[in-house]
């Protein structure tokens, strides 16, 4: 692993800088205790059913088959149907979930310190898959507008990572050679494969990379200190 001096560093947001998974888990826990219909259903069953359905819906959304309103409705409606619960409660469930999810965003451990140090030495930006409304709330809550020079949100570009268009657009924004851009993200498909296909350098934040995928990234790290050392920030 050789040292690298990128001219611009883009970061993924969810589960790279901010702990989306934890907020999601706690949002589901809130739903579980909010509805008495869940008395006989375990939290684990709710979580696994929700994750399975949500994953399928995100894939449909990624292919452009459904819009975000349909995704937001169906993720709880279908979870409730599968668990044998009155599916008309989906609307209330959506509100309970969003309320919790919005109020429990946190930095990933070590990410804030690393990000502050990196942005004091490098130009940085954010590229995130997600809904503009939600992602802008996060961006404002954490003050990212003052910390980065570029913010790219999939819903505003019209395609999600790993679609080449979002990487091409982000490359044009900074006006650099592709090999001078580093992308830091947690997703193998969206971030690592998408970034490499765009000709960027990629640092993959993961604690258990699949052996055959490890060599795709320029750096694999699970501790932000490793990233800092690698780019000499």
Q: Tokens 């790993």 correspond to what residue?
A: 162
Judged by beta carbon, residue 45 or residue 222, the one nearer Mg ion is: 222
Contacts of Mg ion in 74-103 (CB under 5 A)? none
Residues 6+ apart with CB under 8 A from 210: 188
Residue 123 C-beta: closest distance to Mg ion, Å:
21
Residue 200 C-beta: closest distance to Mg ion, Å:
16
- Determine the Cα–Cα distance for residues 195 and 182; give it in Å rounded to an integer: 8
The DSSP code for 168 is: H
Return the residue of 19, 24, 78, 186 that touches Mg ion, per CB under 5 A. 186
| DSSP code per residue over 89-157 | GHHHHHHHHHHHHHH---BPTTHHHHHHHHHTTSEEEEEE-S-HHHHHHHHHHHTHHHH-SEEEEHHHH
Asked if 19 touches Mg ion (CB under 5 A), the answer is no
Task: Please say whether the beta carbons of 136 and 13 come within 8 A.
Answer: no
Asked if 24 touches Mg ion (CB under 5 A), the answer is no
Residue 191 C-beta: closest distance to Mg ion, Å:
7
Return the residue of 6, 10, 12, 198 that touches Mg ion, per CB under 5 A. 12
Asked if 15 touches Mg ion (CB under 5 A), the answer is yes
Residue 180 C-beta: closest distance to Mg ion, Å:
23
The residues binding Mg ion (CB under 5 A) are 12, 14-15, 186-187
């Amino acid at each position: 692993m050789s040292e690298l001096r990128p001219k611009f560093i883009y970061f993924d947001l969810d589960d790279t800088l901010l702990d989306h998974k934890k907020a999601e888990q706690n949002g589901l826990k809130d739903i579980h205790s909010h509805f008495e219909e869940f008395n006989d259903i375990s939290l684990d069953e709710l979580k696994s059913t929700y994750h399975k359905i949500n994953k399928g819906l995100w894939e449909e959304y990624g292919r452009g088959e459904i819009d975000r309103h349909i995704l937001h409705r169906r993720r709880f409606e279908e979870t409730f149907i599968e668990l044998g619960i009155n599916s008309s409660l989906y609307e209330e469930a959506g509100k309970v979930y969003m309320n919790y999810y919005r109020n429990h965003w946190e930095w990933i451990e070590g990410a804030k310190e690393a990000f502050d140090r990196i942005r004091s030495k490098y130009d940085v930006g954010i590229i995130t898959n997600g809904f503009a409304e939600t992602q802008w709330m996060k961006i404002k809550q954490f003050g990212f507008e003052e910390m980065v020079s570029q913010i790219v949100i999939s819903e505003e570009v019209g395609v999600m990572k790993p679609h080449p268009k979002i990487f091409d657009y982000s490359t044009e924004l900074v006006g650099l050679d592709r090999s001078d851009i580093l992308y830091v993200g947690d997703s193998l498909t969206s971030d690592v494969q998408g970034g490499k296909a765009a000709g960027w350098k990629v640092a993959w934040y993961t604690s258990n990379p699949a052996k055959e995928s490890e060599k795709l990234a320029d750096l694999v790290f699970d501790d932000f200190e490793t990233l800092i050392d690698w780019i000499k920030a």
